Amino acid sequence: MFDKIREDIYSVFDRDPAARGVMEIFFCYPGLHAVWFYRIAHWFWTHELYFLGRFTSHLGRFFTGIEIHPGAQIGKKFFIDHGMGVVIGETAEIGDNVTIYHGVTLGGVTWDKVKRHPTVEDNVVIGSGSKVLGPFTVGKGAKIGSNSVVVKEVPPNATVVGIPGRVVMQQDTKVVEEEQRPDLEHGKLPDPEAKAISCLFDQIRALEKKVAELSAHSGEKKAKPVVKKAVKRSTSTRKPAAKSGASVTSSRKKEKTEA
């Protein structure tokens, strides 16, 4: 038991640069206290002392503002930063080295007594205010951006943002090993809306260029028929002159024959 307590304390040092000493962590970190309350409640729950398990969990919620059902399964070095408002359901499963922030919910989407909460694998980071709802798996090394609502499976090493959550980045290689600390850079997330708007601007520029080329091409075509019409008009004006000259000569011949 004391080894687990020591392990929990040093996991805080690894993931919170604000931690300055063991005494501070021991007395002033509600996320750590909630995990300890959970471990006691979970022991009661696994030994079929359900009321004591729920009551201990309720005490932990009262003192920390974090609600972890005693039936949940949580691995080693689980860290809740700040913690207020975190809810973890009965059938949730959490791997090792997982970090979650305040306001996170690992919830269910059915009233049936089945597996209804998510499975979070090792080295996952879940940003503040995120909701992960349903009996699916969040793959190893995944990151979920703040205030996302995730309702379907997340691949390993993927980054998910938005409502509903969608994968905006994924790496094929494993970026976090078991012996390393989790990647907490969940603030450096891509912006899919800005990217979509940028693509629209690129398409507008391409269309404007195409319209300019078409208008220039049509202008050249219109300039050529004007010259042809001018030529036709000049030839048409000359022909009547020729006809008038022929009529004058024919009239003079008639006058001579009459004379």
- Does residue 29 register a pLDDT over 70? yes
- Does residue 75 register a pLDDT over 70? yes
Out of 16-20, 103-107, 194-198, 222-226, give the one with best mean pLDDT. 103-107
Question: What pLDDT is attached to residue 255?
Answer: 58
In whole angstroms, give the CA distance from residue 213 to residue 246.
52
| Domain total in the chain | 2
Domain that holds residue 258: 191-259
Q: Which of 27, 23, 12 is nearest to 184 (CA)?
A: 12
Question: What pLDDT is attached to residue 175?
Answer: 44
Same domain, 174 and 195: no
pLDDT digits (tens, 9 = 90+) for 100-143: 999 999 998 888 888 999 999 989 999 989 999 999 999 898 89
Same domain, 214 and 128: no
Tokens of 120: 């979070």
Question: What pLDDT is attached to residue 203?
Answer: 85
- Does residue 177 register a pLDDT over 70? no
- Does residue 257 register a pLDDT over 80? no
Of residues 114 and 3, the one with the higher pLDDT is 114
Query: pTM of whole model > 0.85?
Result: no
Of residues 4 and 151, the one with the higher pLDDT is 151
Quick one: average pLDDT of 180-190? 56
Same domain, 169 and 206: no
Same domain, 210 and 179: no
Same domain, 41 and 143: yes
Same domain, 181 and 212: no
User: Residue 153 forms beta bridges with which residues?
Assistant: none
The last residue of one of the domains, among 157, 189, 221, is 189
Q: Which of 183, 168, 169 is nearest to 122 (CA)?
A: 183
C-alpha of 189 from chain center: 8
Question: What pLDDT is attached to residue 235?
Answer: 52
- Does residue 190 register a pLDDT over 70? no
- Does residue 90 register a pLDDT over 50? yes
Same domain, 199 and 236: yes
E-strand spans in 1-147?
A: 67-68, 73-74, 79-81, 87-88, 93-94, 99-101, 105-107, 119-120, 125-126, 131-133, 137-138, 143-144
